[in-house]
Amino acid sequence: MNKHILLAVTGGIAAYKSCELVRLLKKQGHTVTVALSQAATEFVTAQTFQALSGNPVLTENGKGEGNGMAHINATRAADIMLIAPATANTIAKIAHGIADNLISEMAAARDCPLVVAPAMNVQMWRNPANLRNIDSLKADGVHILMPAHGEQACGEIGEGRMLEAAQIAELLPDFWLPKPLRGKRILITAGATYEAIDPVRGITNISSGQMGMALAKICRGAGASVSLVYGKISAKIPENLAYVEQAISAQNMHDSVFRLLQQGQDAFISVAAVADYRVANASEQKLKKDGSGKPPVIELTENPDILREVAALPNAPFCVGFAAESENVLTHARIKREKKGIPMLVANQVSDAMGKPTNIITILDDENETSLPEMDKDQVAAAIVARMVSIWQN
């Protein structure tokens, strides 16, 4: 879903992050038009944004050009207006309906949603007048990308740092995506488990966590409150999840899942590649060669099958399982769905799925077996969630 984004940049040092933001939004396929306040032009130039966006940049000096209605034309063309960085001054103006420069005029004249990414010194952020203004904006339906805590350009430490460009680029689509999962609580497991042999060695697998993270992001974007339990991962954890916890071994993951189920979950998406066996005779001390030439014997014992146990609960959430197979994918997947007693299972070939940014899946449910072409994991996750939603609604 490619959108036309009107990016308004006001005068703060975080304006440099907005250059990268334009690049990331364009990479997602969106059209970006940039508008600069007078103060912003002292931090970044119109030429920079013109080159990055590939579109003419609107400025205070040029706002009389054309029919003299830049604030109307630009906002009518946009699907969403984002102010990043938004200074305390601009926030205050918008909160009070003041329209005395290009950006505040646009905010007042728009008929599209407005997202604001504040950036300011910690004391300016905490200023009661600023916090009142933020509350007013929220009450008016403006979306706030709350600033982060951290080191500031002035050297102080505290909240007020604008989110990083990558965080904003990840969160922005949530403001236009439909919300079929609004009000739903979804628990997701992701990544590989790790079963210790001794304090430094263990048994794990090549799952990266990318598929689980993509599902967490898509469920969040669809309005769900997402709790994530992850094992060993190399993938990035999505922003703004309701709850995130690491659980390294299968037993840890089992315990986390059952604790979180007590909070009430509408769905459980079991993406984690959970070890079927753990080491029964794990050593507390690092194993050494004893000179006998005989390798140590590692005994295995079976782990609980988390998904199977969850699906068997009397008030089980809607369960989605995964099956990564190296051969006879569909045959094994059908048996697994049956054995685990789950309404929906996603089957994939190990070599197509694990550790890769793309995946080729078949979704098995009570009605259909739907095979999808190779797509990136965000798209795969969107297809899985769309199927979940359609089964839920029936």
Nearer to ligand C5P, 116 or 319 (CB): 319
Determine whether 154 is an active site residue: yes
**CA atoms of 127 and 124, how far apart (whole Å):** 5
Q: Shortest distance, CB of residue 180 to ligand C5P, whole angstroms?
A: 22
Q: Shortest distance, CB of residue 326 to ligand C5P, whole angstroms?
A: 11
Q: Shortest distance, CB of residue 237 to ligand C5P, whole angstroms?
A: 18
**89-94 CB contacts, 8 Å cutoff, 24+ apart:** 89/10, 90/10, 90/37, 91/116, 91/118, 91/130, 91/133, 91/134, 91/137, 92/129, 92/130, 92/133, 94/137, 94/142
**CA atoms of 76 and 289, how far apart (whole Å):** 73
Nearer to ligand C5P, 161 or 254 (CB): 254
Question: Which parts of 259-278 interact with ligand C5P (CB under 6 A)?
Answer: 270, 272, 274, 276
Binding characters for ligand C5P, 329-348, by CB under 6 A (x = yes): -------x------------
Question: Which parts of 284-323 interact with ligand C5P (CB under 6 A)?
Answer: 303, 305-307, 321-323
Q: Shortest distance, CB of residue 273 to ligand C5P, whole angstroms?
A: 7
Q: Are 306 and 255 in contact (CB under 8 A)?
A: no
Binding characters for ligand C5P, 131-170, by CB under 6 A (x = yes): ----------------------------------------
Cα four-point dihedral sign 75, 76, 77, 78: positive
Nearer to ligand C5P, 306 or 383 (CB): 306
Burial class of 216 by CB neighbour count within 10 A (0 to 12, 13 to 18, 19+) = buried
**CA atoms of 248 and 296, how far apart (whole Å):** 24
Q: Are 148 and 168 in contact (CB under 8 A)?
A: no
Task: Take residue 106 and report the two structure tokens written for it.
Answer: 């646009």
Cα four-point dihedral sign 373, 377, 382, 387: positive
Q: Shortest distance, CB of residue 304 to ligand C5P, whole angstroms?
A: 6
Q: How many binding residues for ligand C5P (CB under 6 A)? A: 13
**CA atoms of 263 and 70, how far apart (whole Å):** 50
Count of C-beta atoms within a 10 Å radius of residue 311: 21
Binding characters for ligand C5P, 233-252, by CB under 6 A (x = yes): -----------------x--
279 contacts ligand C5P (rule: CB under 6 A) = no
Q: Are 10 and 90 in contact (CB under 8 A)?
A: yes
Q: Shortest distance, CB of residue 336 to ligand C5P, whole angstroms?
A: 6
From the list 112, 154, 219, 319, the catalytic residue is 154
Cα four-point dihedral sign 10, 12, 14, 19: positive
Binding characters for ligand C5P, 200-219, by CB under 6 A (x = yes): --------------------
* Interface ranges with ligand C5P (CB under 6 A): 250, 270, 272, 274, 276, 303, 305-307, 321-323, 336
Residues identified as active-site: 154
